[in-house]
């Protein structure tokens, strides 16, 4: 038995299985035969019924296959190159070849049934580049043909698509045969009066209201829910979302907003990325639609003015029921409450019974929890380094991809210099008629496009990695704060406390009047009683939301900064 271990990965989309005949089972059998013929021990098989150009390491089963390949196997076996890479943009094929090269450096092999091992010599790289480019071209050609046909249909004023129509309408299809069979030759929208009546109620309530001024989208959603009106999804026969916690006939604020934003109700349906205008029967007047947009903009500005307050635990507090908790300010004091109190309709839906918590309490406990961790100097650095190592391991696929992209950028720069030198060697007078010069010009244009694309991808991937990684600078920042605080030299600002809470990824879960604090480090979670009568809110830690202001210590047992050692 060989000492080489292999992971099998298969992928197919519904249309490929129907049109090309290579089902998941067909691929699996071919890969298993390949593994047997080449004396590989199969340690795992993964299958994705997943279409699109998403890289293998981001697909549901592909992510598992790639992790096992990196950690427990020597080789990855796929049916063909296009099962691993289908570049969405021209020039992206270079990225795949760079990844193969980077994996080869760490003794990892990729095999495909029709070509064997993807080796890194120049001949094999050219063949691999051709296969990856062909796979990308097939995908892009299909998408382009489909888009071109649909855009042409939309430009001629015809309705595109045969799915469920927009709420407020139904679609009438004209077919080639008078008996209603055969190919669809034309489609058009017809107003559904029952649904259109609801659309008009939404706009009337939002623009003019019910006599006491315009209603908010949430109020409109509540009124429609009380009336028992079917939601647009229910009216069109969509299945309810599996994870939906809302009952039948319960309108969401976002559903109302989608109706209010849609210009189609004023008679203009926008199609595709080119926003091709298709005329359809209007349900409301254009003036009323314009008034709704003005009201939306006014509400947006008012909302922006009312949300300038910063909160120490914004986005870090979760309710025991599973919903997030939102911070708000009332009479100068901060509170956190379950989102169900905001988004669920009173009297129609069951709201979470978790009480609103005083912001000063949960924020003080969260800061004390973080502070206790920070002040354990003998354990702090080892814990941070351990978390950093685990994060780096989890980011290995992205880091390998980044290295491959950076290598390709360097290759582009080198080749660009060579092409520029070759172009400069051709006399200016001969350039207009030189076949070689024209070829070099084309190659220079390809390199420029490839270089620009790869730089864009590098920058985006770097942002993604930087957001997740624990940097040496952040570790030193926390360590320095720990030392200064123990010596009584540090009075952190609001912005600094927020930054250190983010460094540690502190999370608070509120349930039954207790707040349970946890973080990314291997530190035991701690629970705090938010109703503890010994807490005096007025004597708690006080700070301003200004990023530059420092907090002022009061006589509060929760907030006093003292060594826990």
DSSP class of 292 = H
| 99 and 81 Cβ atoms separated by less than 8 Å | no
Shared domain check, 449 and 494: no
Task: Decide which of 272, 306, 340 is a domain's last residue.
Answer: 306
Is residue 157, in this structure, part of any structural domain at all?
Answer: no
Shared domain check, 424 and 342: no
Is residue 183, in this structure, part of any structural domain at all?
Answer: yes
Shared domain check, 485 and 460: no
| 296 and 289 Cβ atoms separated by less than 8 Å | no
Question: Could you report how far apart the first and last alpha carbons of the chain are, in Å?
Answer: 56
Bridge partners, 334 (sequence order): 329
Per-residue pLDDT of the chain (565 residues; tens, 9 = 90+): 457 899 998 887 655 544 454 678 888 889 999 998 999 999 898 888 765 556 666 677 878 888 888 888 888 898 877 777 655 555 555 556 666 766 677 688 889 887 888 887 766 666 666 666 666 566 556 556 656 666 666 665 566 665 667 899 988 877 777 666 667 777 778 899 999 999 999 999 998 887 667 888 888 988 898 888 989 888 877 755 444 566 678 898 889 999 999 999 998 888 766 677 888 889 999 999 999 999 888 887 766 555 556 789 988 999 998 889 988 888 888 899 998 877 677 667 677 888 889 998 999 899 989 888 888 888 888 998 998 888 888 888 888 888 888 888 998 899 899 989 999 888 888 888 888 888 898 888 888 888 888 898 888 888 888 877 788 888 887 888 777 766 654 567 788 888 888 888 999 999 998 999 999 898 999 999 887 645 544 334 443 333 333 333 333 434 433 333 3
CA dist list (Å): 382 to 376, 486, 520, 565: 11, 18, 13, 16
Shared domain check, 185 and 117: no
Q: What is the dihedral of CA 143, 145, 148, 150, to 10 degrees?
A: -80
Is residue 89, in this structure, part of any structural domain at all?
Answer: yes
The pTM score is 0.53
Shared domain check, 343 and 213: no
Q: Which pLDDT score is estimated for 163? A: 60
By residue range, what is the domain housing residue 454?
A: 396-468
Total of domains in the chain:
4
Shared domain check, 422 and 370: no
Q: From the CB of residue 415, how many other CB atoms can be counted at a distance below 10 Å?
A: 16
Cα separation, 166 vs 473, whole angstroms: 52
Shared domain check, 126 and 173: no
Tokens of 482: 């720990």
Cα separation, 43 vs 62, whole angstroms: 15
Cα separation, 279 vs 465, whole angstroms: 45
Task: Decide which of 468, 498, 520 is a domain's last residue.
Answer: 468
Shared domain check, 134 and 272: no
Q: Which pLDDT score is estimated for 149? A: 62
CA dist list (Å): 222 to 59, 148, 249, 349, 499: 39, 42, 10, 10, 39
Shared domain check, 351 and 491: yes
| 535 and 363 Cβ atoms separated by less than 8 Å | no
Is residue 67, in this structure, part of any structural domain at all?
Answer: yes
Q: Which pLDDT score is estimated for 311? A: 87
* CA dihedral sign, ordered 403, 404, 409, 410: positive
Q: Read off the CATH number of the domain in which 216 is found.
A: 3.90.1750
Nearest to 97 by CA among 126, 117, 135, 71: 126
Cα separation, 376 vs 521, whole angstroms: 13
Task: Tally helices (H) and strands (E) across the chain.
Answer: 18, 16
Shared domain check, 316 and 289: no
Shared domain check, 415 and 274: no
Is residue 113, in this structure, part of any structural domain at all?
Answer: yes
Cα separation, 363 vs 555, whole angstroms: 16
Is residue 175, in this structure, part of any structural domain at all?
Answer: yes
Nearest to 402 by CA among 455, 472, 473: 455
Quote helix, strand, coil % in the chain, to nearest 5: 50, 15, 35
Task: Decide which of 278, 306, 334 is a domain's last residue.
Answer: 306
Q: What is the number of alpha carbons within 13 Å of residue 465 lying toward its C-beta?
A: 19
Bridge partners, 190 (sequence order): 170
Shared domain check, 287 and 319: no
Q: Which pLDDT score is estimated for 542? A: 42
Phi, psi (rounded to 5 degrees) for 170: -130, 160
Cα separation, 76 vs 96, whole angstroms: 14
Q: Read off the CATH number of the domain in which 87 is found.
A: 3.40.50.1390
Is residue 160, in this structure, part of any structural domain at all?
Answer: no
Bridge partners, 300 (sequence order): none
Q: Which pLDDT score is estimated for 12? A: 78
3-class state of residue 397 by DSSP: helix
Is residue 163, in this structure, part of any structural domain at all?
Answer: no
């Amino acid at each position: 038995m060989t000492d080489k271990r292999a992971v099998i990965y298969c992928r197919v989309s519904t249309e490929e299985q129907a049109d090309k005949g290579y089902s998941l089972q067909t691929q699996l059998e071919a890969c298993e035969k390949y593994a047997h013929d080449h004396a590989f021990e199969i340690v795992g098989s993964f299958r994705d019924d997943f279409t699109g150009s998403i890289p293998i390491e981001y697909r549901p089963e592909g992510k598992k296959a790639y992790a096992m390949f990196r950690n427990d196997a020597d080789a990855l076996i796929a049916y063909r190159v296009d099962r691993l890479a289908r570049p969405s943009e021209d020039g992206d094929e270079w990225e795949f070849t760079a990844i193969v090269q980077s994996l080869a450096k760490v003794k990892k092999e990729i095999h495909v049934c029709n070509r064997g091992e993807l080796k890194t010599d120049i001949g094999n790289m050219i063949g691999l580049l051709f296969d990856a480019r062909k796979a990308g071209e097939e995908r892009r050609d299909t998408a382009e043909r489909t888009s071109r046909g649909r855009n042409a249909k939309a430009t001629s004023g015809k309705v595109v698509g045969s799915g469920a129509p927009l709420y407020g309408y139904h679609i009438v299809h004209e077919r080639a045969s008078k008996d209603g069979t055969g190919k669809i030759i034309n489609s058009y929208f017809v107003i559904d009066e029952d649904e259109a009546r609801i659309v008009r109620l939404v706009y009337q309530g939002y623009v003019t209201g019910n006599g006491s001024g315009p209603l908010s989208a949430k109020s409109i959603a509540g009124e429609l829910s009380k009336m028992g009106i079917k939601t647009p999804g229910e009216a069109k026969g969509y299945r309810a979302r599996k994870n939906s916690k809302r009952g039948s006939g319960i309108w969401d604020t976002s559903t109302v907003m989608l109706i209010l934003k849609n210009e189609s109700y004023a008679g203009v349906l926008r199609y595709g990325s080119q926003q091709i205008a298709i005329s359809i029967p209007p349900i409301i007047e254009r003036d009323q639609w314009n008034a709704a947009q003005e009201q939306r903009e006014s509400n947006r500005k008012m909302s922006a003015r009312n949300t300038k307050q910063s909160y120490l635990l914004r986005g870090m507090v979760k309710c025991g029921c599973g919903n997030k908790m939102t911070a708000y300010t009332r009479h100068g004091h901060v509170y956190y409450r379950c989102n169900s109190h905001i988004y669920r309709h009173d009297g129609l839906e069951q709201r979470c019974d978790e009480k609103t918590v005083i912001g000063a309490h949960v924020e003080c406990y969260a800061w004390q929890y973080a502070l206790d961790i920070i002040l354990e100097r003998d354990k702090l650095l080892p814990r941070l380094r351990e978390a950093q190592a685990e994060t780096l391991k989890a980011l290995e696929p992205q880091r390998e991809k980044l290295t491959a992209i950076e290598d390709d950028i360097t290759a582009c720069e080198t080749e660009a210099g060579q092409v520029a030198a070759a172009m400069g060697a051709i006399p200016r007078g001969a350039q207009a008629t030189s076949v070689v010069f024209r070829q070099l010009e084309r190659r220079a244009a390809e390199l420029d496009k490839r270089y620009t694309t790869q730089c864009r991808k590098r920058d985006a991937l770097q942002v993604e990695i930087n957001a997740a990684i624990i940097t040496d600078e952040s570790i030193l920042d926390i360590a320095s704060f720990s030392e200064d605080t123990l010596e009584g030299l540090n009075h952190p600002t609001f912005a600094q406390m927020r930054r250190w809470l983010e460094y540690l990824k502190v999370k608070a879960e509120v349930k039954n009047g207790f707040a349970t604090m946890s973080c990314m480090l291997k530190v035991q979670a701690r629970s705090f009683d938010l109703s503890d009568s010994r807490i005096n809110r007025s004597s708690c830690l006080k700070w301003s939301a200004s990023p530059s202001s420092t907090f002022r210590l009061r006589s509060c047992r929760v907030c006093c900064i003292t060594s826990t050692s």
